[in-house]
Chains A and B, each alone.
Chain A
Amino acid sequence: MEQFFQQLLNGLAVGGIYALVALGYTMVYGVLKLINFAHGDLFTIGAYLGLTLLISCNIAGMLPPAAAVLAVFVMVGCLVAILGVILERAAYRPLRDAGRLSAVVSALGASIFFQNAIMLIYGARYYVYPDFLRPNFTVHLLGVAVPGVRLLVIGTSVGLMLLLWAFIHRTRIGAAVRAVAIDPDAARLMGINVDAVISLVFLVGPALGGVAGLMVGIYYGQVDFTMGWMYGLKAFTAAILGGIGNIPGAMLGGMLLGLLESLSAAYVAMAWKDAIAFLVLILILIARPTGILGERTAEKL
């Protein structure tokens, strides 16, 4: 029972990270119908930038650990967001009218560019996050000792998701983002600047992805320049699982994938966790090709 509870919380922590990254894929897909393959690398950049800010820029030395981590969260979010906007301007906007395949190739190119840039700047080795930054308290929940860092990861990702949900569903600009995802030309006729909405999506998505990278660094304590590949793939899977283009779907898909992985790692075998996760993906897609929350109703003509 205790093991189950621990694995549940571990799954939610990993799932929260997948969900944050998945949101970036799904939002970009929503407005551009493009898979931003470079998104996983923005996630890696978030993890490395966090390391640089904490160690080389010595923010960890200037502030108490909790304040340092918080400051670095905000900075990483902002910096990766700026990178996301530059990526859209440089790699996607010039190809907007060139057909979807060109944009996909450009996305793959951007991914390779980022990955190699990180390798050239930091070198192709593992980096270890400073130990003292990792919150090392434990919380007793229902008689089980839970690492505090796990709860913090869950809390942060859920909090960010709630914020995003409120922004998309409770503000006029959020409604504009949804409108652009449904029908960009009709949105233009409403007076919505579609280019500005696309930039906004490339601001919010990468910010969440970068923060997720930082959380992985803190949670697992180490980063390497290829980590964006596997996390990107998993998050992309989560987005598909929930229904690509659907924001609550990405949240649900991420959480579900995280739970599936950690439970199958615990109860089946560590080596089988990815196989089981992808098997479930295949089964769900056979039953519901549009994903769990994917567009159900055909729009009336």
Chain B
Amino acid sequence: MALLTLSGIRVRYGSVEVLHGIDMHVEEGEIVTILGANGAGKSTTLLAVSGLVRPFEGDIRLDGESLLRLKPHQVVGLGVSQSPEGRRVFGSLSVLENLDLGAFLVKDGPKRSKTLEWIFSLFPRLAERKGQLAGTLSGGEQQMLAIGRALMAQPRLLLLDEPSLGLAPLLVRSIFETIRTINASGVTVLLVEQNASAALKLATRGYVLEVGNMVMEAPAKDLLADPAIREAYLGG
């Protein structure tokens, strides 16, 4: 059984339908990426999984159990955490407080400190700045914090929304390397990215979303080689 299954998801904001019946699945241990232009509905798809937007049709299942009736915090409790678009770190809280909130549902203190150590080993910069207010971090550091914070929940499935947005190329490479390390430690990753070539090099499979429709699904290396995809998302 797939870890995560979306079947026929339709979402609207007000009277505008933005997802017209999305089908996709993520298997345990995979890195799956969703490609698509701005406004294609990539972020909406992730928000629907987390329960922050409600589909009016279709179903989202984790291990075969529907998530649709659950509140967002209950979805986190089942092991699905998200690093949202725009990072959304709590600016007037310290780095450490942000990370600790990521583990809000982890009641076991020693377990929390262990995860924290692991995150500091992934992102040594966060350890250096742990007492600093999150709002004073650079964009790259905030991104690290957003990912680290999502990992503090010790998720089985990590949803990453545009982790490379606005970052310098060197930093993008290091963030993607870290995502690979996170995945190797046993966390399944669903990645939404505009930087298609970097995402496809990392991913096992990819989906292509176009104005609310899933138009393609293929192994990442096939998408990388596909002329139409190269044309549309990889700059020729």
Contacts and interface: CB of A to CB of B under 8 A. Distances in A.
Contacts of A295: 92
B135 A189 contact: no
Nearest to B152: A190
Interface string A180-217: 00110111111111110000000000000000000000
B81 A189 contact: yes
16 contacts: A176-B104, A178-B92, A182-B90, A182-B93, A186-B84, A187-B101, A188-B52, A190-B73, A191-B76, A191-B81, A191-B105, A191-B153, A192-B101, A192-B104, A194-B73, A297-B136
B173 interface: no
B101 A182 contact: no
Contacts of A195: 71
Interface of A: 172, 175-176, 178-179, 182-183, 185-195, 295, 297, 299-301
A182 B135 CA distance: 12
Given A175-B101, A178-B93, A182-B91, A190 B76 contact: yes
Contacts of B97: 175
Given A186-B84, A191-B153, A297 B91 contact: yes
A189 B82 contact: yes
Q: Which are the 10 A-B pairs with shortest beta-carbon distances?
A: A191-B76, A188-B72, A186-B88, A191-B105, A299-B91, A191-B104, A191-B73, A193-B73, A190-B101, A182-B90
Interface string B69-111: 0011100110001101010111111000100111011000000
A170 B91 CA distance: 17
Given A175-B97, A192-B73, A193-B71, A186 B104 contact: no
Interface of B: 50-52, 71-73, 76-77, 81-82, 84, 86, 88-93, 97, 100-102, 104-105, 135-137, 139, 142, 149-150, 153
A190 B91 contact: no
B135 A297 contact: yes
A180 to B, nearest CB: 10
Given A176-B101, A182-B93, 4 more contacts: A183-B88, A188-B71, A191-B73, A300-B142
Contacts of A189: 50, 52, 72, 76, 81-82, 84, 88, 150
A194 to B, nearest CB: 8
B153 A190 contact: yes
A164 B42 CA distance: 41
A169 to B, nearest CB: 9
Contacts of B142: 300
Nearest to B138: A300
A188 B54 CA distance: 14
B73 A183 contact: no
B84 A188 contact: no
A244 to B, nearest CB: 15
Given A189-B50, A191-B153, A175 B93 contact: yes
Contacts of B77: 191
A186 B83 CA distance: 9
Contacts of B93: 175, 178-179, 182
A178 B76 CA distance: 19
